[in-house]
Amino acid sequence: MQFFQQNTLAKVGLSPVFSIHSGGTSIAQFGMGGTIRPKGQKAIEPRLLSMSHLLRPFLAVLAILGAVSPANAVNSVPIKGTVETNCTVQVSQTSTNSIDLVRGTSRLNVARVREHCNLGNGFKISITSANAGSLMDAAGNKVPYTISYDNSGVRSLAAGVVLTRTSPALVVTTKNFTVTVPAKADAIAGSYADTITISIAAR
Contact yes or no for 109/178 (Cβ under 8 A): yes
Running DSSP on this structure, what letter comes out for residue 181? E
CATH 2.60.40 assigned to domain 87-202? The reply is: yes
- Band of residue 164 on the pLDDT scale cut at 50, 70, 90: very high
**Positive or negative: CA dihedral 12, 14, 17, 18:** negative
- Band of residue 29 on the pLDDT scale cut at 50, 70, 90: very low
Cβ neighbors of 3 (< 8 A, separation 6 or more) are: 19, 20, 54, 57, 58
Domain residue limits, the chain: 2-72, 87-202
pLDDT of residue 73: 86
Phi-psi region of 35 (alpha: psi -120 to 50; beta: other; left: phi over 0): beta
pLDDT of residue 97: 85
- The average pLDDT across 172-198 equals 96
The predicted-structure confidence for 70-121, as pLDDT tens digits, reads as follows 567 889 999 999 999 999 999 999 988 899 999 999 999 999 999 999 999 9
